Amino acid sequence: MAFINIPKGKQDRPQDRPCNLKFKNISDIKYWVFDLDNTLYPSHCNLFSQMSSRMTSFIENELTLSQEDAFALQKKYFKDFGTTLRGLMENHNICPKYYLDYVHDIDLSIVESNIKLDQILQKLPGHKYIFTNADRNHAQRVMKKLGIEKNFKDIFDISDGDFMPKPHLSTYQSFVHRFGIVPEDSIMLDDMAKNLVPAADLGMTTVWIMTDALWAQPDGRQGSVDKVHYQTEDLTAWLETQLCPS
């Protein structure tokens, strides 16, 4: 079963193109590494808008800032540190569990059960892992809502990486070491193109789950254009195509 690249379609980005890939058959993959948010469920669920609002209110309350200043600081820390949490830890000694419990206390009713994805995951060869900048509790809630939790061997969350978020290389190295993963036998799927760069550098094959979010696009300065091996807007459809190519 040869892998198939699924381009975006009518509004192709300049970087949408086939790449030279090493996996010829899906059976060659021993480890599947899945991001969580905006990867396992569609980005139109827009859970991040809820989390973003709670990040802002958390900063407002903890640092006694106006909503405008809190939002600005939230975005600055995301840009400078990779996550708002990391900036709050570095500069304000914020307890990460306190922050994560608050930010992830959101309504998941928009996320629908995905029976097809569950069936596809059951058929994929190899071990499957969640690798997320969120916490374990949020990951478990989302996986349960999707109805796919039984398919995954384990979760590597933000605390497992000592709160150093993707795309820091050290976090990927910790992930690989913890589970005994061989990067050359692995494939990683993520909605943020920059998160695929370290994975590719370690030897993983990569799949970008495309969204319209500006911060999720490939950044040529980081080499992320060349490190995206496959791309699709629909994870379930892409996986189904790999299992049942036409």
Domain ranges of the chain: 26-43+112-243, 47-103
Which residue in 191, 177, 131, 196 sits closest to 157, CA to CA? 131
Classified by CATH at the fold level, domain 26-43+112-243 comes out as Rossmann fold (3.40.50)
Closest CA to 186 of 236, 133, 229: 229
Q: Token digits for 224?
A: 């992320």
Q: What confidence tens digit (pLDDT) does each residue in 3-23 have?
A: 555 444 433 443 443 444 556
CB 202 within 8 A of CB 182: no
CATH no. for 47-103: 1.10.150.450
C-alpha dihedral (110, 116, 119, 124), degrees to nearest 10: -100
Q: What is the pLDDT of residue 216?
A: 58
Residue predicted with more confidence, 38 or 18: 38
* Amino acid residing at 65: L
pTM of the shown model: 0.88
* Token pair listed for 105: 């206390």
Q: How far apart are CA 124 and CA 46, in angstroms?
A: 27
